[in-house]
Amino acid sequence: MQELPTPHLTWFADLAVEVSAAQEIGLAVHGRRRLIPIVGGEARGDGWRARVLPGGADFQLIVNDRMAELDARYTLELDSGELIYVQNRAVRAGAPEDMQRLARGEPVDPSLIYFRCSPSFETAAPRFAWLSERIFVGTGMRLPSQVRMRFFVV
């Protein structure tokens, strides 16, 4: 059998996504639901910059006291005016007390929290058409009013 290539990660972008106060839906049929409004931010990659448009949100399912499943959806507006739709699924896990501190908006050392994500992109921008043809992974950290992430193409 032929040797399969080993995937390598190549840096794609750094993002700082501004968020506002959580909307606590409460205990629903699949777990505790929470919605975090996205109100702005910025992104930068190799040779491009964008702003995070307000109006997106991070739809969260608190699975248990150690883990949350995240599904953030928002739009980037490139300096050229072109738009990129982002859907970023993530897992955030840590000790119950650290997860509770994050939920209260308190700072937590990022090394104590496992935060990994798999963003996907859609756009009509010709120079970024390749985004929908690739797999991306990332890492992140939650701050009181911001989420910082670094995305890599596989």
2 falls in which pLDDT band (50, 70, 90)? confident
Q: In this structure, which amino acid lies at residue 113?
A: I
Please give the radius of gyration of the chain, using alpha carbons only, rounded to the nearest integer: 16
**Token output for 29:** 């049929």
For residue range 97-151, what is the model confidence (pLDDT) as tens digits? 999 999 888 999 999 999 999 999 999 999 999 999 999 999 999 999 999 999 9
Two tokens, residue 87: 């859907």
Sequence-ordered list of residues with C-beta below 8 angstroms from that of 29, at least 6 positions apart, any chain: none
pLDDT over 80 at 1, yes or no: no
Residue range 20-76, pLDDT digits in tens: 999 999 999 989 999 999 999 999 999 999 999 999 999 999 999 999 999 999 999
pLDDT of residue 105: 85
Q: Which domains does the chain have, with CATH numbers?
A: 10-153 (2.40.160.20)
